[in-house]
Amino acid sequence: MERTLIRDIREKDDTRISCSGWVHRIRKLGGITFLLLRDRSGILQTVWSEEPGLNLESVIQVRGRLKPSEKAPGGVELQVEDYKLLAAAAPNLPVAVNQDPTKLSIEALLDYRMLSLRNPKIRSIFSLQSEILRSFAEYLRSLDFTEIKSSKLIGSGSEGGTGLFEVDYFDRKVFLAQSPQLYKQAMVAAGMERVFEIGAAYRAEKHETPRHLNEYVSLDIEMGFIESDQELMDLEAEILNYIFEQVRRKNADILELWDSSLPDPEAMRKIPRISYDEARDIISTRLGRRIFELNPEGERELCQWAAENAGVEAVFVHSYPRKKRPFYTYPDGRHTMSFDLLFRGLEISSGSRRIHDHDLLVENIRRFGLDPEEMEDYLQVFRYGCPPHGGFAFGLERLTQKILGLSNIKEASLFPRDRKRVSP
Ligand code: ATP
Ligand code: MG
């Protein structure tokens, strides 16, 4: 008999079906056993006249007849006729799979990751994340972007050598890439003009915050023949709007489960664009004291300001001072053609127009205390004709975190890497 997925059960009465999945919960009432069976698509109540003696999380195949039931999820239950044990689970789970996961500490969630990921609410984070990835790529392909995969092993740092993990590479040391920055620029110049990459990025940063991981997934974009960073902000808002639309359409149940909603297209068109200096003024006024850096408190305050004034909890901050941005950022007087997107109180993306003029780039590399001779490969990109270009990158986990309202970014990473944790 063919397997029926729980979400595909349409008939409510007297149909014989076979379902397979995990033993989610067992409840005994009188002489009857109610067993909740879980598969990737949902949960089904099954009714057993004889106690099967199964441990929670065992994997089984059951066959039986459907009967309507008011109390069961989906209004239907399965009267079990026979079953097969596909894999027995050991007794005494170290962490309960069927409980409300928000009651678990982040340590418990991560220490027992192999089991906590079985919880439907936890698993839903990653179903939604998969939709972010799919819609991001789909939208960019529709605009003639090409997906690339660049190496994560690099000879030297793209941002100036700090915050890099060293790796033994035969008889020498190399580093884990902090971003695909230099390679995506190279591919624009190689003639692809428009590229995107989804890949791991590594930051050897010691901070322990609810918004930093030491390994995260970077959604990178780079495009040629732009005139200003305003075009990049336009594209970024469009991409995000498309992702939100798709998530709303495909993952409405998950948004509801996490009690979250997303800005609609009208709100997305109204995201304010303010300069770094204006941002500092707004924050200073709101906090009643002069601030000099755009810190996490300021980022939250600015999103609050945007929510109150533009009706959207997002804001672009552009024109960062030169010393606050990497050497490849296009200068604009004392400032740069660069921007961050803050969403629900957190930076979820950074971008900029890049320097495409070889001599200006060499000058800026020196200005940043770096050695152009060590960047010979990179400089070749510009020596032989590179169009004006720019790009940006989203952090996948930060985006997921903010869409669902997760308090810690680690919840949005399957197997997060932090200062202490490299397993599971
Ligand atoms: P922050 O200032 O918040 O530490 P950043 O400015 O150093 O971040 P960028 O180098 O601009 O980060 O990286 C682009 C995007 O990648 C960020 O906006 C963020 O979404 C994501 N990102 C960067 N570093 C991390 C990290 N350590 N953990 C998770 N996501 C990150
Ligand atoms: Mg940034």
Q: Give the C-alpha separation, 285 to 170, whole Å.
A: 55
Find the radius of gyration of the CA atoms of the chain: 26
SS3 at position 123: helix
For ligand 1, atom 23, the nearest C-alpha belongs to: 395
Q: What is the pLDDT of residue 156?
A: 74
How far CA 27 is from CA of 46, 53, 422, in Å, comes to 11, 12, 37
Domain ranges of the chain: 6-87, 114-412
**Low pLDDT (below 50) residues in the chain:** none
Residue 329 near residue 337 (C-beta atoms within 8 A) = yes
Q: For residue 104, how far is its CA from the centre of ligand 2 (angstroms)? A: 31
Count of helix runs (H) and strand runs (E) in the chain: 12, 18
Q: What is the pLDDT of residue 207?
A: 84
Tell me the catalytic residues: 203, 205, 211-212, 347, 350, 398
Backbone φ and ψ of 140, nearest 5°: -70, -40
Q: What is the pLDDT of residue 100?
A: 94
Q: What is the pLDDT of residue 158?
A: 58
> Maximum Cα–Cα distance for the chain, whole Å?
84
Q: Which ligand is nearest to the CA of 294?
A: 1
**CATH pick for 114-412 out of 3.40.190.80, 3.40.50.720, 3.20.20.140, 3.30.930.10:** 3.30.930.10
- Report angle CA 416, 259, 408 to the nearest 5 degrees: 25
Q: What is the pLDDT of residue 278?
A: 98
Give the pair of three-digit tokens for residue 164. Answer: 């890099």
Strand partners, 64: 17, 80
The closest of 225, 257, 222, 217 to 236, measured between CA atoms, is 222
The closest of 276, 301, 303, 304 to 289, measured between CA atoms, is 301
Around ion ligand 2, residues with a beta carbon closer than 5 Å are 350
Given the CA of residue 159, which atom of ligand 1 is nearest to it? 10
Residue 337 near residue 352 (C-beta atoms within 8 A) = yes
Q: What is the pLDDT of residue 12?
A: 83
6-87: CATH topology:
OB fold (Dihydrolipoamide Acetyltransferase, E2P) (2.40.50)
Dump the DSSP string for 366-400.
Answer: HHTT--GGGGHHHHHHHHT---SEEEEEEEHHHHH
Given the CA of residue 399, which atom of ligand 1 is nearest to it? 20
Strand partners, 395: 218
Q: Which of 202, 398, 410, 419 has most ligand 1 atoms within 8 Å of CB, for mutation?
A: 398
Find where tokens 């390679």 sit: 183
Give the pair of three-digit tokens for residue 304. Answer: 């609050």
How far CA 222 is from CA of 108, 186, 216, 231, 318, in Å, comes to 39, 10, 19, 12, 18
